[in-house]
Every structure is written in structure tokens, then in C-alpha cells.
């Protein structure tokens, strides 16, 4: 079991919730606003980043509570926890097996991916959302991706600040920051392209089981460290005028096509776009199961609501075949009647009870 026990304290609308699943498939049923998605969000915070909502930490503490929140989970024989306290509501704290750790260290504990209704517009919105989606998939495959992303962003912020100063920036300091960006940027780009290639191969193998067959590509900068160093050095005046860095992997975009229709995902129907996302999540889960030594956790918010019974059955079978731990939410327990053995819970106004 990936997560043997999950405890939430003063998180969102959950004052004190404990869940100890006894099956790898977990169903959270309840009305809208009951707190189902809050549980998925808490689990998503057991990975680096801001969770599946991308919310500010201070907004996660329970309203009317003492301030701060805590999330803890038993993973195998170990324990992982994260949260904040009332004195520093914007500062995230992480503990792994009782010891203070960085948020990036969480990437070595679980391989987590998720799909939420808010992602239904992923193909229609800005490239930033698609990059974040891709990076979550990469992180589940390669925990080192978090380190490279953090270092790249830190170096880029420092470079932007130097270029934004009225006084001329020190060329040597700029060159040092650009070298850091190039080192970590090349690693980011390599990891993304490797994941896309592996996903494409997995999609080809699993094509007959998928809801739709996605074709994946990455646009934007591609090259060696030396190429990015040269691009950053030659673009200093341009970047200073723009107020931001215009070259590098932070400008990349994940391109997705519906191969069955030979059509860009952005031009597909909402149902087809959802099918493409589900296919990517399933193929990624199969890939992670085969190549990652960490437990796999899949979070699916309201995933069954718009599927007919036959498609729901196919989805449940594919999810079970991944071998991962799957947490699903729905407003009606009847949506999961064909799921088979599962831990089934009712969520009601921040309270969690067994069915």
C-alpha cells in the first residue's frame, strides 16, 4: 500500500481526519463542498510544489482553526509530513521519518500524478499549465527533476533582478548565473524529452486499451549547455528591455495531437480532450510502474461523472492494472458500483466515514 494511513489536521475543512485504506482503490463520495477534493489536495502536497490547486499555503489552513495545518502519511515503514504553523503561515515545513527535510526531498517518497476538472481546459490555456503538467509527470519518473527546476528558477530570478537594476550588471556575475541556468536547463530539457519519448513508446504498446491515442512533442529551446549560454549572453539587452528571460526551457510548450483524428488537442471536443488526458495519465502510470522504485499514487477528481457505464468499467480495469494506489472522488457512490474491491468512504462537511 502506497499510503497506509493519512491524517489531516486543520487542513481546509477537515479539523481532524484519518484514513487508513485497506484496498489500493479508494473512493471518496459526497456532495459538492463536502471536502473530497481537499483530501486529494492534501495527498498532492506529499510531492514538491503547490499541490493540485496551486493555492497559497495560508489559504489551506482551516477557517476558524488555530492557524497552520498538518498532513502526515505512513508510506511503507516510514512517515512523511508537511504543513505550516500559525506563526509562519506561508512557510512550508517538511519532515521525513521525524527529520526536517526540504520539500524537494518529497520527490523520493511517492510518484504522484493527478487529473482534476480544472485541467479540462489544459489544451486551451497558456503553455505554462502544460509545462507544469508535463513536469509533474517527469517528476514522478525522475525525482532529480525537482532539484534542477529549483536551481534553474533561482538562477533565472537572480539574472532577471541583475538585468533590471539601473546600474550596469557585473558581466562576470551574469555569466556565472547563465552557466547555472544552462547546466540545469539542459537537464530539465533532457528529462522532459526523455519522458515524452518513453510515453510515446508506452502509448504505442497500450494503444488498444486507451480512450484516445495522444501524440506528444515539445516545442521551444532544445540544445546543449553551450547553446543556451550563448543565447542568454547575446540576449541580455533584449531580456533587460522585456523584463524577463526569453530563452530557455521555461518557454517550452507540450504539444498534443489526437492521432486517431490527426487533429491538435486544442481543436478537439471537450470529451476528446478529457479522453486524451486520461490516456496520458494511464500510459504514464504504466510507465512509472515499470521503471520507478517508488509507490505510485493516482488522484482523480470527479473522473467518472461524464463516462457511461461501459467506459467507466474500462477505466476502472485500466486503473487497477497499473498496480498503483488510486484515489477517486464522486458526488454519487453509485458511479463506482462496477469498481469491485475498494475502500469506500463518505465525506460530509469535513468528516470521513466508512460506507
Confidence band for 355, pLDDT divided at 50, 70 and 90: confident
Give pLDDT, residue 307: 84
Instruction: Render pLDDT for 56-78 as a digit per residue (tens, 0 to 9).
Output: 999 999 999 999 999 999 999 99
C-alpha 167/C-alpha 189 separation (Å) is 33
Give pLDDT, residue 305: 84
Confidence band for 306, pLDDT divided at 50, 70 and 90: confident
Confidence band for 49, pLDDT divided at 50, 70 and 90: very high
Give pLDDT, residue 124: 94
Which residues make beta-bridge pairs with 81?
72, 95
Interval 166-177 mean pLDDT: 94
Interval 334-340 mean pLDDT: 92
Interval 296-310 mean pLDDT: 91
Give pLDDT, residue 211: 83
Residue 208 has pLDDT above 80, yes or no: no
Instruction: Render pLDDT for 152-165 as a digit per residue (tens, 0 to 9).
Output: 999 999 999 999 99
Which residues make beta-bridge pairs with 219?
253
Confidence band for 209, pLDDT divided at 50, 70 and 90: confident
Question: Beta strand pairing status for 253-258 and 263-264?
Answer: antiparallel
Among 304, 327, 329, 300, CA closest to 314: 304
Radius of gyration of the chain from its Cα atoms, rounded to whole angstroms: 21
Instruction: Render pLDDT for 224-263 as a digit per residue (tens, 0 to 9).
Output: 899 999 999 999 999 999 999 999 999 999 999 999 999 9
Give pLDDT, residue 17: 97
Which residues make beta-bridge pairs with 174?
none
Q: Over the chain, what is the mean pLDDT?
A: 94
Q: Sign of the C-alpha dihedral, residues 150, 103, 105, 6?
A: negative
C-alpha 313/C-alpha 319 separation (Å) is 10
Q: Among residues of the chain, what percentage have pLDDT more than 90?
A: 86
Give pLDDT, residue 31: 95
Interval 5-18 mean pLDDT: 97
Amino acid at each position: 500500500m502506497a499510503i497506509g494511513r493519512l491524517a489531516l489536521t486543520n487542513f481546509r475543512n477537515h479539523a481532524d481526519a484519518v484514513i487508513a485504506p485497506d484496498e489500493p482503490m479508494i473512493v471518496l463520495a459526497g456532495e459538492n463542498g463536502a471536502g473530497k477534493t481537499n483530501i486529494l489536495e492534501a495527498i498532492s502536497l506529499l510531492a514538491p510544489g503547490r499541490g493540485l490547486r496551486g493555492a497559497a499555503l495560508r489559504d489551506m489552513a482551516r477557517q476558524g482553526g488555530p492557524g497552520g495545518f498538518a498532513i502526515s502519511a505512513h508510506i511503507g515503514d516510514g512517515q512523511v509530513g508537511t504543513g505550516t504553523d500559525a506563526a509562519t503561515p506561508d512557510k512550508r515545513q517538511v519532515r521525513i521519518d521525524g527529520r526536517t527535510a526540504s520539500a524537494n526531498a518529497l520527490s523520493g517518497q511517492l510518484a504522484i500524478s493527478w487529473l482534476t476538472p480544472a485541467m479540462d481546459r489544459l489544451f486551451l490555456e497558456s503553455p505554462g499549465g502544460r509545462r507544469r503538467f508535463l513536469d509533474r509527470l517527469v517528476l514522478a519518473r525522475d525525482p532529480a527533476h525537482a532539484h534542477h527546476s529549483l536551481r534553474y528558477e533561482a538562477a533565472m530570478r537572480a539574472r532577471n533582478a541583475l538585468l533590471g537594476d539601473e546600474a550596469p550588471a557585473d558581466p562576470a556575475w551574469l555569466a556565472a548565473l547563465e552557466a547555472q541556468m544552462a547546466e540545469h536547463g539542459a537537464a530539465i530539457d533532457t528529462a522532459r524529452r526523455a519522458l515524452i519519448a518513453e510515453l510515446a513508446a508506452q502509448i504505442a504498446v497500450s494503444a488498444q486499451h486507451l480512450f484516445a491515442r495522444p501524440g506528444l512533442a515539445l516545442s521551444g529551446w532544445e540544445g546543449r549547455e553551450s547553446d543556451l549560454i550563448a543565447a542568454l549572453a547575446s540576449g541580455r539587452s533584449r531580456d533587460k528591455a522585456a523584463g524577463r528571460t526569453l530563452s530557455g526551457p521555461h518557454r517550452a510548450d507540450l504539444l498534443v495531437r489526437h492521432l486517431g483524428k490527426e487533429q491538435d488537442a486544442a481543436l478537439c471536443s471537450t470529451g476528446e480532450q478529457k479522453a486524451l488526458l486520461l490516456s496520458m495519465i494511464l500510459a504514464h502510470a504504466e510507465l512509472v510502474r515499470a521503471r520507478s522504485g517508488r509507490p505510485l499514487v493516482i488522484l482523480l477528481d470527479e473522473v467518472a461523472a461524464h463516462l457511461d457505464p461501459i467506459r467507466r468499467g474500462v477505466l476502472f480495469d485500466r486503473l487497477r492494472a497499473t498496480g498503483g494506489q488510486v484515489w477517486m472522488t464522486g458526488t454519487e457512490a453509485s458511479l463506482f458500483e462496477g469498481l469491485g474491491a475498494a475502500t469506500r468512504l463518505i465525506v460530509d462537511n469535513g468528516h470521513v466515514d466508512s460506507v
